[in-house]
Structure 1
Amino acid sequence: MRYVSTRGGIEPVSFSQAVMMGLATDGGLLLPESFPQVDAATLQRWAKLSFQALAVEVMQPFVGEDISREELVALVEKSYASFSHPEVTPLVEPGNLRILELFHGPTAAFKDVALQFLGNLFELLLERSGQRLNILGATSGDTGSAAIYGVRGQERIDIFILHPKGRVSPIQERQMTTVLDANVHNIAITGTFDDGQRIVKELFNDLDFKQEYKLGAVNSINWARILAQVVYYFYAWGRVSGGDASQKVSYSVPTGNFGDIFAGYVALRMGLPVERLILATNRNDILSRFVNSGVYQTGEVHPTISPSMDIQISSNFERYLYFLMDQNPAKVRELMEQMGREGKLEVSPEKRAEVAALFHAAAVSEDETREQIRETYAETGYILDPHTAVGVHAARAFPGAICLATAHPAKFGAAVKEAIGVESEPPPSLQGLMEKETRCAVLAADAGVIRDFMKSTLAD
């Protein structure tokens, strides 16, 4: 399996090279040249597998010869040993809902599914090469802690995580800043998450800096993140369908950066029987506006009670745009350059119809989010976190849809308590965080400032 850039400016690379490159050197995102196809017999067989066994089957064609099957089995087993539920991502059915719980990892968020795997994958590849890696990432709340927990204490890795100061939940902030391992460096930037993403992309596009300091990516610009998330779409379908390939399922995905829902699109391209992908956003609705209008245009970032979705520039959108433009990198490059100049791009009515045939999009307000938490709790006793509530509300017109639960409700205790009057009992991994010692630098949202900080830190 070889990987190409959405902008067509690099020669195809291997899986290992794609993982270590993160962002393509032409500024695009990396994708496999083709998707392996899954037939009905394979779907029936996969539906009976454990999560770990399924992960090996899904990932193996994308990994190719870079990693042996034995190594992949060991990576998967190690990555999911820290999850508190034996199914890793169990499907539960409170009332008439179908909820895919993705929060049983060490930081109680869906990012653990990918970042536990990616951290161990980095470790394997660095041991082979004898090299070091300096990870640079930005977080709207959950990626940072999941990435930190995936690589904390590793000898060959330093990790620098940017989060928007005051714009993540107190629990999310403490999950990051209470990790005091010498290789972990937290930075609170005086700006938004979009500022953090911009800084990360700017520094990755500084090719001299990227090469000299061996930058690595943990944000969902890294293809391995997407790959690991594809697995739970197949897993959830198997639990609902029993392996009947004629049964299509819809998925509702609360998303801001388009990575989680793009993993569902990849599963569809591979042959998963998908009816609709329900794209759920909060007030920061650049993605839902695109699906409903064909116009992708930035706007102001509004703080909400679902802060991990407070995003107005979705880094994975370019991957979908590549397929929407019939895998024409020149057209993608033209549109992304227009986006850079004007903060806006628009697709044709024909392409808009193509988007609408697969995606249903809804922007869910703060009041609707709170009401969904209240209603679900009153009817079933099940507590939704505010992100998952956005997805459940968006799926109201799709009975039987599988709603992705992206975080444990205890991570957003204030919002939950405001909605239902009680907080969710925190899992062991979240207990006692507010009393722990913290370490964090506060810096301007400026690429030059972050570059200088990284240089001085690594020189010590």
Structure 2
Amino acid sequence: MRYISTRGEAPALGFEDVLLTGLATDGGLYVPESLPHFSLEEIRSWRGLPYAELAYKVMYPFVEDAIPADDFRKMLDETYSVFSHQAVAPLVQLDTNEWVMELFRGPTLAFKDFALQLLGRLLDYVLEKRNQHVVIMGATSGDTGSAAIEGCRRCEHVDIFILHPHQRVSEVQRRQMTTVQGDNIHNIAVKGNFDDCQRMVKESFGNQSFLGGKTQLAAVNSINWARIMAQIVYYFQASLALGGPDRSMAFSVPTGNFGDIFAGYLAKKMGLPISQLVIATNRNDILHRFMSGNKYEQHQLEHTLSPSMDIMVSSNFERLLFDLHGRDGAAVKTLLENAAKGPVSIEDYRWKHARKLFDSDAVDDKTTCDTIRDVYEQNEYLLDPHTAIGVRAARNCRRDSAVPMITLGTAHPAKFPDAIAESGLSVKPQLPAHMADLFEREERYTVLDNNVSEVQGFIAKHWKNA
């Protein structure tokens, strides 16, 4: 399988090179040249498979040119064996035909573990084979950083530099990153917001001269295709658990960078019956404003109780725009260049095509807290603020009550105790046993100005072979 850029000018690459490259040389994102498609009969035959085996069925077509089947199966077994629930992604029922899929049973208590624990193993495999070293540079709004560090910290061929917005992630999220010890792990707190961090990462991938030609950058953000690929699987898992593919499903997805919900869009294109995808956002609602009114316009980024979604520039939205424009890379490039200068819209027929599948909602902090409280009082089930936004958006946007609605539960509530307290509940979510001493561990991180040259200089000085 070959991979092409959403901006149409970079060369097509195989899986290994896409894994290591991250951002395409023309500034675009890589997508498969063509997608595998599964028949209903084939999907039906996967009922009852363990999660790792289902993951193999769904993902192997994307990597088969690069990784032997037995090696890939071993990676998947190792990846998902460390999750704390045998089902890996268990479903919890909230109401009639309403469910939460718990995607926070991995080692860092967030859905990012599904992709990043695998990504670390993929990088180790490919870099060992090539005898190559890379510098991982990533930006996080809270959860990607800890999952990336956990997934990659044992990799012998990488140095890890994770940028997070200073004082704009929860304390648990920060400590999960900054208390992991290792000479190859570097946490950078940028005096800015997530979009500033993400911009620095993209700019650095576009010009890697600060590394002196001695190594290259590798991506752990969802610009890396491997991240999206791994997230497709749990849509199939949820559907199969609730009667799919013989009935359609609806999903509500808390999203800031559009990667998790784009995986659902791909699952549908690969043959899974999905009738609705709900984009659930907070006050940073650029995706909602586009999907509800065909206007893509950046506003000032606001700090909310759901910090992992405090994002205004949604990188993976480019991948959907590429499809909506008939895979015309030049059209996507022009559109995004114009979007950097002011508001843009797409042709009405393209927007209406997107609306056949997608709905959206923006949920403010008060409504988020109300939802946390209401669901707990109804079910004694505690939602984190991001999942609460997903549940509220699902209820506001639901098209058909006969279709199961599944909200993706993206993080453990213990990561956001301030939001739980603000909801008025007296219950205090507890960290699991393996993190019980988190607040006693020593932290290590460096605070830098919102300046790409300063960040690049720090990386150039501190990677191990510098």
User: Does the TM-score normalized on the shorter chain lie above 0.5?
Assistant: yes
Question: Is contact 1:135-1:216 (8 Å) kept?
Answer: yes
Distance across 1 between alignment mates of 2:102 and 2:246 = 25
d(CA) in 1 for partners of 2:451, 2:349: 40
What amino acid is the match of 2:414? Answer: A
Would you say the 8 A contact 2:210–2:457 is kept in 1? Answer: no
Structure 1 residue 209: Cα displacement: 4.3
Residue in 2 aligned with 1:106? Answer: 107
* Residue 238 (structure 1) aligned with residue 243 (structure 2): no
CA distance in 2, matches of 1:359, 1:411: 29
Regions of 4+ moved over 2 Å: 94-97, 207-213, 397-400
**3-state SS in 2 of match to 1:297:** coil
2:310 counterpart residue number: 310
How do 1:312-351 and structure 2 match up within 5 A? 312-340=312-340, 342-351=341-350
Q: Which runs of 5+ in 1 are unaligned?
A: none
Alignment-derived partner of residue 159 in structure 1: 160
Tell me the residue number matched to 1:183: 184
More moved, 78-87 vs 396-405: 396-405
The corresponding residue for 1:372 is 371
User: 1:148 touches 1:184 (CA, 8 Å); kept in 2?
Assistant: yes
- Return the alpha-carbon distance in structure 2 between the equivalents of residues 429 and 416 of structure 1: 21
Q: Aligned partners of 2:319 and 2:329: how far apart in 1?
A: 10
- Superposed CA deviations along residues 380-432 of structure 1, whole A, max 9, x for unmatched, are 00000000000000011424310000000000011112212221122123321
Q: Deviations over 1:52-108 (max 9, x none)?
A: 000001111111221011011011011112111111111121344301000000100
Please give the alpha-carbon distance, in whole angstroms, between the structure 1 residues aligned to 2:47 and 2:287.
31
Letter in structure 1 aligned against 2:418: A
Instruction: Show the 5 A alignment for 1:6-405.
Output: 6-96=6-96, 97-209=98-210, 212-241=214-243, 243=244, 245-340=245-340, 342-397=341-396, 398=398, 399=401, 400-405=404-409
Deviation at 1:207, TM superposition (A): 4.5
1:154–1:183 CA contact under 8 A, matched in 2:
no
The aligned runs of 1:438-457 (5 Å cut-off) are 438-457=443-462
User: Deviations along 1:113-135, whole A, 9 cap, x unmatched?
Assistant: 00000001000001100011100
The answer to whether the Cα contact below 8 Å between 1:153 and 1:182 also exists between their aligned partners in 2 is no
Deviation (angstroms), 1:433: 1.0
Residue of structure 1 aligned with 2:438, choices 433, 439, 449: 433
SS for the counterpart of 1:442 is: strand
Hey, what's the Cα distance between the residues in 2 that align with 1:106 and 1:90? Answer: 15
CA–CA distance in 1 between the matches of 2:29 and 2:210?
Answer: 19
Q: CA deviation at 1:136?
A: 0.1
Q: Secondary structure at the match of 2:48?
A: coil
* 2: CA distance, partners of 1:344 / 1:197: 20
Could you tell me whether the CA contact under 8 Å between 1:283 and 1:363 is conserved in 2? yes
Q: Aligned letter for 1:366?
A: D
Q: Give the secondary structure class of the aligned counterpart of 2:45.
A: helix
Partner in structure 1 of residue 413 of structure 2: 409
Residue-pair matches, total: 457
Partner residue, 1:418: 422
**Offset of 1:328 from its aligned partner?**
0.7
1: CA distance, partners of 2:353 / 2:167? 39
Partner Cα separation in structure 1 for residue 451 and residue 59 of structure 2: 37
Q: Deviations over 1:255-296 (max 9, x none)?
A: 000000000011011011001000000000000111011111
Q: Distance in 1 between matches of 2:332 and 2:438?
A: 44
Residue 153 of structure 1 deviates from its aligned partner by 3.2
Instruction: Mark the CA change 1:325 to 1:212 in structure 2 (over 3 Å): closer, same or farther.
Output: farther
- Alpha carbons 1:5, 1:31 under 8 Å: kept: yes
Cα separation, 2, equivalents of 1:79 and 1:298: 37
Q: Distance in 1 between matches of 2:429 and 2:177?
A: 21
The one-letter amino acid of 2:420's match is V
Moved more, 349-358 or 286-295: 349-358
Residues 388 and 406 in structure 1, CA contact (< 8 A), matched pair in contact too: yes
Secondary structure of the equivalent of 1:295? coil
Q: Which amino acid aligns with 2:318?
A: E
Shift of 1:435: 1.3
442 and 207 in structure 1: CA distance in 2 versus 1, 3 angstrom threshold: closer
Q: Distance in 2 between matches of 1:103 and 1:111?
A: 8
The residue matched to 2:164 in structure 1 has which SS?
strand
Conservation of the 8 A alpha-carbon contact between 1:10 and 1:24: yes
Q: 2:376 aligns to what SS in structure 1?
A: helix
- Stretch moving more, 159-168 or 426-435: 426-435
Q: Which amino acid aligns with 1:418?
A: E
Share of identical aligned residues, percent? 47
Under a length normalisation based on structure 1, what TM-score does the superposition of the two structures give?
0.97
C-alpha distance in structure 2 between counterparts of 1:225 and 1:432, whole Å: 29
Distance in 2 (CA, whole Å) between partners of 1:270 and 1:153 is 34
- My pick for the range that moved more, 184-193 or 245-254, is 245-254
1:351, distance to aligned residue in structure 2 (A) = 1.5
Q: Which whole-Å CA distance do the structure 2 matches of 1:182 and 1:70 have between them? A: 32
CA distance in 2 between counterparts of 1:343 and 1:128 reads 45
* TM-score w.r.t. length of structure 2: 0.96
Distance apart, 1:213 and its partner CA: 2.9
Amino acid in structure 2 at the alignment position of 1:449: E
Decide whether the 8 Å contact of 1:108 with 1:429 is kept in 2: no
- Structure 1 residue 326: deviation in Å? 0.9
SS of residue matched to 1:103:
coil
In structure 1, give the amino acid aligned to 2:332: V
Give the conservation status (yes or no) of the 8 Å contact 2:135–2:159: yes
Q: Which moved more, 1:143-152 or 1:84-93?
A: 84-93
Contact residue 21 and residue 218 of structure 2 kept, 8 A: yes
RMSD of aligned Cα (Å): 1.2
